[in-house]
Amino acid sequence: MEKVLEVKHLKKYFPVKGLFFTKGWVKAVDDISFEIYKGETFGLVGESGCGKTTTGRTILRLIEPTAGEILFEGKNVMELKGDELKWFRRKAQIMFQDPYSSLNPRQTVFEIIMEPVRFHGIEVDDPEEFVVNLLKSVGLNEMHLYRYPHEFSGGQRQRIALARIMALKPEFIVLDEPTSALDVSVQANILNTLKDLQEKHGFTYLFISHDLGVVKYMSHRMGVMYLGKLVEVGPADKIFENPLHPYTQMLLSAIPVPDPEMAKELKAKRKIVRGEPPSPINPPAGCRFHPRCPFAKDVCRKEEPPMVEVEKDHHVACWLYAKS
Amino acid sequence: MPEPILQVRNLTVHFYTYAGIVKAIERVSFDVYRGETFALVGETGCGKSVTSRALTQLIESPGRIVEGEVLYHKEDGTVVDLLKLNEEQIREIRGNEIAYIFQDPHASLDPLYTVGYQIGEAMEVHGKVESIKEGIKKAVDILRSVLIPDPENRVKNYPHELSGGMKQRVVIGIGIANNPKILIADEPTTALDVTVQAQILDLINQLKEKYKATVILITHNLGVVAETADRVAVMYAGKIVEIGSVEQIFKNPLHPYTKGLLKAVPNPMTKIERLEAIPGTVPNLITPPSGCRFHPRCPFATEVCKRKVPELKEMEDGHFVACHLY
Amino acid sequence: MADLKKFLIRRILTFIPTIVGVTIIVFLIAYVIPADPAKAWAGGEKASPEAVERIKERYHLNEPWYDQYWFLIKGLATNTLIDPRTSNPVFDDIKDRFPVTFQLAIIAFTFTILIGIPLGLISALKRNTWIDTLVRIFALIGVSTPVFWLGYLLLFVFFVKFRITNLAGVPPAPPVQITHIPIIDSLLTGNFTLFKQHLARFWLPGFVLGFMGTGVLARFVRNSFLEALSGDYIQFLKAKGVPKLRMYRHALKNALVPIVTVLGLQFGGLLAGTPITETVFALPGMGRYAILSIQNLDFPAVVAITFIYAIIYVTANLVVDILYAVIDPRVRY
Amino acid sequence: MQEEYKKSILDKLADKIVYGLGSFISLFKKGWKEKNKSKMEEWRLMLYALNRSPPALIGLFLVILFILVGIFGPRLAHWRYNFFPMLYTKSYDKIILAPPGSKFVLDYYNNTVITFPLGSDHYGRDLLSLILSGARTSFVISIIVISLGVPLGILLGLIAGYYGGKVDELIMRITDMFLAFPALILAIALSAVLPERIQNFISTHEAVQKFVLWLFALDVREAGNLGRLLAVILAMIIVWWPAYARITRGSTLTEKEKLYIEAARAIGLPARTIMFKHILPNIIGPILVYITLDFGGVILMEAGLSFLGLGATPPIADWGRIVYDGAQYFPKAWWLVFYPGLVVMLVALGWNLLGDGLRDILDPKTRRSIEFKVKKSKKEGEANA
């Protein structure tokens, strides 16, 4: 299968400022590697502060990484300049979590969608018709053309954002919690639209979310992040059926399922959920999960576990599965 | 027959805003039984939060409680209408017999006072302790009971020195400080991560058992409802559309909205080919749809739905629905 | 408390670049002086070329800019910068006038606080009533009234018509000096006659100077207090069953942080108003001195005065920062 | 919803203004009116809100009056500012200070009688004429200071806020230094050292000199005084920008965090476009309010400076200067202090009232509450009736 995106040893540290010098570093993303294949949805899950959003933005070069390589269709994103960078900006897009701040409140829908089109020099015969067609493809219509964002509901705004992205005919879209600010009934709508568009245009998605149910529904493959580290990567089905990393297991057992019987069952065999994620400023040594891990051994406290392939395509970074 | 602790009748709250009168909740009625966990579920703006706050007159201007009764059955058997109490009387009930936990623990605590002070204050204002100083001493025990490690030192912490989960534990601590009869938890875990959410929900359950309290849980998360609630009321656009036990609601949902909602949530434990979305959007409550407020989005809507407001009907034991289909 | 100390040191350190910058601006002001003042200082048009040359020599006016800067800094630091008009070191001249200005500012500040804060609180508690509207209009009139106009108006009423204040001279400083601010010293040493004299001389100019800030402060207190009252934690306090007064106390403490900032800024504003007030009320303070120096092209004095004002301003900001840290535990980080 | 309002004459005027403007723009940009319905509706609502706020309307009235007098004042004045009449009482005693409302004989020889509605100054000039001419001075100065100082501050604030890091550090340190001086003190110091150089510049550039004289409606004779006048302007520009740099930086920092800015970056838009097309329009509201309030501020400060003897020198008509010169005759010639001061206050009050009203109108939250209040009061009125 063709790789659209390859992330190699990506690191992003944010400085913690002291008076004159940097006091320390927030290791938001610390040496993660994964790839995304054409036409698939790669889900990235984790709790707040685990670095999933930073990963998404760094891939698009909205934040400069501290170290590592990002290859987009074989080209090193960090080295792109001029026209090539412009090409990348067109081919790789992002959809944000908060529909209330992702649209400029002073622009009409028409301007919001046409601005990138004009900037990228895409030839359009009739701009109005072009925008109306886009709006229709995401479930809006020509009535909305000259309205301002504040006249729309959250779900509609996400559709406008989607239309803006579609206008550039991208290949790869980072979806950064696109539905977490929306109600469930609206969420289902947006998720279905995203799936339909992927089928029709062959988009590749990086789907970032903290909602395991949504990730399961959307993703073909997925990665689980904890404190800046990728702890488990594999096909979504396999991870849900057979979570390997103790953190993944804990996460899965903590989700409340919308089914009382199943909930009772799960609750009975729920692993004890312990503690809260520590601060990423001074993450624990060794395996970062060890202070909360029920299976922690000596080696976990000292050395970082390597990523190993336990079954086909299913990788995990845990000393339970690796040989030291 | 379970014994009611709270009976809400025809509770109506309007907000007099710039754009017009927002009919936030309209003639909401339900009973809460002693010792149960009663969940109010619904989407943003359906009025669940307003309902919970209206119970103790916690409605700020421009909102106003237009009509209704909230009958509170005290331990000693007397019944009072909470909406008829004056400011001082209701103040004595709030935080004492009926306590709240709000959604956002960051915003709920005053940033300029230590957590010990804030817990102590809650006890002091209800005369449970002589002074706040004494309250701070007792706060140590409370922090311990909400499973905060090292409570002796934590009482001296300011809110910003605690993590989100810890803050919510403090908020819960304030809630249970006076051993309330009813604990109203308004989206207590929405601002928290999944793993922390599980801990907080467990904690609320434990405390409920320990103090024999009744819990009213307000949430939009059906998973949380399935896991913790005994009975559920589903709200849509300011009205209750369905009430029943948690099994009845999840296994045999009657209202088209409840059905749609359940099908729209992806369950991570099952394989779903395609989610079913509810078409349309939530109506604005200034000019709500006539008749049944759900009719513009309802696949089964008929003429009568547009005209007549459906009343709650008991379909099976304790299972009420407000829909013209039945 | 260790936190507080660390915070303070950090804060003081960050003021160093500001002070350095202030000297640079002061220097720039001095540096753009045209060559003519030398002539003026030497005695006007009739001055002999030798005398002018001597003055230029003495004030390094012929040297390159860095030499001039160094001369200026050294002069300020060691108080060897000589005022050509009075032939005194500039800070010596200022030392006599500083207490007058400072005393004026303090009295004005007291007026501002004593009137502004209660007015703001009343306005907030009676939100959207006629009292609120009145305070709002009062605030707008306050910022729109020229200080000199109000000064003359009140002079007309209190001095010309009723003679309730006096305008002549300045009462002496008490024999025992502690703070070197006469009105405070006389209060501290129990010299009430002198205190009364100072008050009689200074209350009207103080009021005029403080008037502008009063309304602004009232409005600001109102808005901050209302903002604090709308916080979620106030709702939670209400849900806790906390009585109203206690709720207000919480809100007030939270509102204090922005109020303190504005007070710091207002103290700076008061200082800026002193030249006009001192001119109207014939007070021999720094502001008046600055105007006279300017009229006489007496630049060493101008430089020194500007510098002093800037130092006071920076110090006021520092005090604000300290108060912040005392009120708000979050600031110490 | 708005149609429920009972429209006042002012509201109807507002409708006409907005639609007229829409049609006007549509003449040049086809279809503008149709495409900007939402925008025009918002304008209309803002004007409605303005109509509901009597203080803002009074402010607007005062400001319009000030602008008109600022433009036409020198023409409206009965006497030129540099006309120094010889005044005599009916008994032909020479007089210097004429009290308000008094009549005097203008010339010993040709018996013309002259009335001083507001009195005269010590040169015998008519105070009313001076005040009218002085409006031009205040008006031009405030416009120059605002239109040069404010954009500079906004630009620096935008750059500091958007780029952050070292650029931000540098700009803000400089801003802090300027803010460390009380504005008036710095302005005093600057207006003391600047005149000479400006005067040199002015005398060597005739076109500039002509233009400035035209701006202030002055005669060529006053060319020698321009240096001091312009020095005050320059001094005020120098003290005015830092506050705007700081405000703009603050709002830019908040606005920059919003996702639509990140979306613009993800599209690849250059920094310039993002700053001016995306950030600036979204933060301009509060800045506009500040600008309005600051027109009053500039006028007050200018009056203050000339009250201290800086800036405009006689015979140039300047409100502060009249007070400065008249103060030596206080309290006898009270009108020389009272009227110019009153005018300064009224103008400053006008701008402040307008600015304060604009703050409510530009903030959608309060604006809507104003609209609602209108409707509620109407309803209650009906209920009572």
Contacts of A186 in chain B (CB under 8 A): 277, 281
Number of domains in chain D: 2
The residue among D31, D52, D73 that closes a domain is D52
Number of domains in chain C: 2
C152 and C236 both lie in a single domain: yes
Handedness of CA A241, A245, A248, A252 (dihedral sign): positive
Query: Would you say residue D192 has pLDDT above 80?
Result: no
Look up the ipTM and state it. 0.85
Q: What is the dihedral of CA D180, D186, D187, D189, to 10 degrees?
A: -170
Average pLDDT over residues C134-140: 90
- Distance of CA D342 to CAs B135, B136, C149, C150, D198, Å? 59, 59, 8, 9, 31
**Angle formed by the axes of helices C286-295 and C244-280, nearest 10°:** 40
The residue among C49, C78, C107 that closes a domain is C78
Q: Which of D260, D278, D282 sits opposite A102 (nearest CB)?
A: D260
Determine the pLDDT at residue C172.
78
In single-letter form, the type of residue at position C265 comes to L
Q: Report if residue D213 sits inside a domain.
A: yes
Rounded Cα distance between D336 and B166, Å, is 69
Q: Report if residue C87 sits inside a domain.
A: no
Query: Would you say residue B7 has pLDDT above 50?
Result: yes
pLDDT band at A244 (very low <50, low <70, confident <90, very high): very high
Determine the pLDDT at residue A226.
93
DSSP D221: G
pLDDT band at B157 (very low <50, low <70, confident <90, very high): very high
Rounded Cα distance between A65 and A51, Å, is 12
Average pLDDT over residues C72-80: 83
C290 and C151 both lie in a single domain: yes
The residue among D52, D71, D86 that closes a domain is D52
Provide the CATH topology of domain B4-97+178-321: Rossmann fold (3.40.50)
Phi-psi category of residue D7: left, alpha or beta, with phi > 0 → left and psi -120 to 50 → alpha: beta
Among chain D residues, CA nearest to B62: D369
Q: Report if residue D72 sits inside a domain.
A: no
C202 and C252 both lie in a single domain: yes
Among chain D residues, CA nearest to A95: D263
By the 8 A CB rule, do A302 and A291 touch? Answer: no
C182 and C238 both lie in a single domain: yes
A92 three-class SS: strand
If residue A224 lies in a helix (H) or strand (E), which one and from where to where? strand A221-226
Domain span at D30: 1-52
Q: What are phi and psi of A221, to 5 degrees?
A: -125, 160
pLDDT band at B112 (very low <50, low <70, confident <90, very high): very high
D44 and D155 both lie in a single domain: no
Q: Which of A185, A267, A277 sits opposite B227 (nearest CB)?
A: A267
D81 three-class SS: coil
Determine the pLDDT at residue D2.
40
Q: Report if residue D107 sits inside a domain.
A: no
Beta-carbon count within 10 A of D241 CB: 22
Contact D371 B18 (CB under 8 A): yes
Q: What are phi and psi of B305, to 5 degrees?
A: -65, -35
Average pLDDT over residues C207-229: 91
Rounded Cα distance between A224 and A234, Å, is 9
pLDDT, tens only, C28-70: 776 766 556 666 676 666 777 887 787 777 777 777 778 878 8
Determine the pLDDT at residue D198.
85
C118 and C17 both lie in a single domain: no
pLDDT band at D380 (very low <50, low <70, confident <90, very high): very low
Percent of chain C whose pLDDT exceeds 70: 94
Contacts of D307 in chain C (CB under 8 A): 146, 148, 276, 279
In single-letter form, the type of residue at position D346 comes to L
The residue among C78, C109, C136 that closes a domain is C78
Domain span at C266: 96-327
Q: Is D42 on the interface with B (CB under 8 A)?
A: no
CATH number at residue C219: 1.10.3720.10
- Six token digits for residue B206: 């434990």
DSSP C161: I
Q: Report if residue D251 sits inside a domain.
A: yes
pLDDT band at D108 (very low <50, low <70, confident <90, very high): low
Q: Report if residue C85 sits inside a domain.
A: no
Q: Report if residue D27 sits inside a domain.
A: yes
Average pLDDT over residues A144-156: 87
Contacts of B60 in chain C (CB under 8 A): 235
D221 and D327 both lie in a single domain: yes
Taking the domain A3-317, which CATH number applies? 3.40.50.300
Query: Would you say residue D385 has pLDDT above 50?
Result: no
Q: Which of A103, A108, A145 sits opposite D260 (nearest CB)?
A: A103
Q: Report if residue C284 sits inside a domain.
A: yes
pLDDT, tens only, D46-95: 888 888 788 889 999 999 999 999 999 888 888 787 777 777 776 666 66
By the 8 A CB rule, do D304 and D311 touch? Answer: no
- Mutant choice from D60, D142, D185 vs C, greatest count of C C-beta within 10 A: D185
C277 and C310 both lie in a single domain: yes
Average pLDDT over residues C136-149: 91
- A244, A239, A202: which is closest to A219 by C-alpha? A239
Pairing of strands B313-316, D87-88: unpaired
Contacts of D232 in chain C (CB under 8 A): none
C126 and C16 both lie in a single domain: no
Determine the pLDDT at residue B186.
93
pLDDT, tens only, B189-230: 888 888 888 888 989 999 999 889 999 999 999 999 999 999
Q: What are phi and psi of B10, to 5 degrees?
A: 50, 40
The residue among C26, C45, C78 that closes a domain is C78
Average pLDDT over residues D205-211: 89
C-alpha triplet D122, D124, D128: angle, nearest 5°: 100
Q: Report if residue D40 sits inside a domain.
A: yes
C309 versus D367: the higher-pLDDT residue is: C309
C159 and C278 both lie in a single domain: yes
Q: Report if residue D109 sits inside a domain.
A: no
C30 and C132 both lie in a single domain: no
CATH number at residue D334: 1.10.3720.10
Among chain C residues, CA nearest to D193: C33
- Distance of CA C120 to CAs A162, A178, C113, Å? 48, 44, 10
Pairing of strands A314-317, A229-235: antiparallel
C211 and C302 both lie in a single domain: yes
Q: Is A225 on the interface with B (CB under 8 A)?
A: no
Q: Where are the domains of chain A?
A: 3-317
How high does pLDDT run on average in chain C? 84
Q: Is A189 on the interface with B (CB under 8 A)?
A: yes
Determine the pLDDT at residue D223.
83
